[in-house]
């Protein structure tokens, strides 16, 4: 996979800012956010990653609107029956739209970076916190093992087969990984300014 046009840390910052901004957007704002995310799905590889994320999140996607519909008070859908409210349905739909846009952006991020790029980005983001006791190297290694395991994870199967699979689980991963450094450019600084501008516009 060719290097991403931006530094992995800059791409992660863009995704984090986009994800954080979604929490403050109503329907008109989500329409603008969708205009940024939907074109990313034009690539087949991103669509494939997005569908995989949807499949793994299917229960959350199904249950989230129901939880809001049954828990948010307000005008009931049926007179005399307060179990399901219109405000709950509206809030659940809004939360579902935010989650779908978040997953679409995450699919684009994972496709752009790949495992090594994501590990490098997390490592670069964690390095400034080394003074607070965070071991960026250990975090990068552990993350690589988690991602490698998730990448080769078997599809969902009955619990008896899952237990049998645990007995044949592979041994520990490599003791170390090698990260190829990528230079920070003016484009990466511009990406950080764009992320800050997006958050500023959303919070304004």
Helix, coil or strand: residue 152: coil
How confident is the prediction along the chain (204 residues), in pLDDT tens digits per residue?
A: 444 579 999 999 999 999 999 999 999 999 988 988 888 888 999 999 999 999 988 999 999 999 999 988 888 887 766 678 899 999 999 999 999 999 999 999 989 988 888 888 888 888 888 777 888 878 877 776 676 555 555 554 554 444 454 444 444 455 556 677 888 999 999 999 999 998 888 887
- Torsion angle of the four alpha carbons 131, 184, 23, 92, in this order, in degrees rounded to the nearest 10: -110
- Torsion angle of the four alpha carbons 116, 122, 128, 132, in this order, in degrees rounded to the nearest 10: -120
80: alpha, beta or left? (left if phi > 0; alpha if psi -120 to 50): left
Q: At what angle do helices 86-126 and 44-56 cross, to 10 degrees?
A: 120
Q: What angle do CA 123, 180, 7 make, to 5 degrees?
A: 60
Q: Which long-range contacts (CB under 8 A, 24 or more apart) does 59-63 make?
A: 60/99, 61/96, 61/99, 61/100
């Amino acid at each position: 996979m060719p290097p991403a046009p931006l530094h992995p840390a800059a791409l992660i910052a863009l995704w984090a800012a986009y994800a954080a901004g979604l929490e403050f957007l109503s329907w008109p704002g989500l329409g603008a956010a969708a205009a940024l995310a939907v074109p990313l799905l034009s690539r087949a590889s991103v669509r494939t990653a997005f569908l995989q994320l949807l499949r793994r999140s299917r229960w959350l996607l199904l249950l989230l609107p129901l939880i809001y519909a049954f828990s948010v008070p307000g005008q009931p859908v049926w007179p005399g029956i307060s179990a399901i409210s219109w405000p709950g349905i509206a809030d659940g739909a809004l939360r579902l739209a935010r989650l779908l846009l978040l997953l679409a952006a995450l699919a684009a991020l994972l496709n752009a970076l790949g495992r090594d790029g994501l590990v490098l980005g997390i490592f670069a983001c964690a390095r400034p916190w080394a003074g607070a006791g965070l071991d960026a190297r250990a975090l990068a290694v552990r993350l690589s093992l988690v991602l490698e395991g998730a990448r080769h994870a078997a599809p969902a199967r009955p619990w008896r087969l899952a237990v049998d699979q645990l007995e044949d689980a592979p041994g520990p991963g490599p003791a170390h990984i090698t990260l190829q450094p990528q230079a920070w450019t003016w484009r990466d600084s511009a990406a950080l300014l764009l992320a800050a501008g997006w958050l500023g516009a959303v919070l304004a």
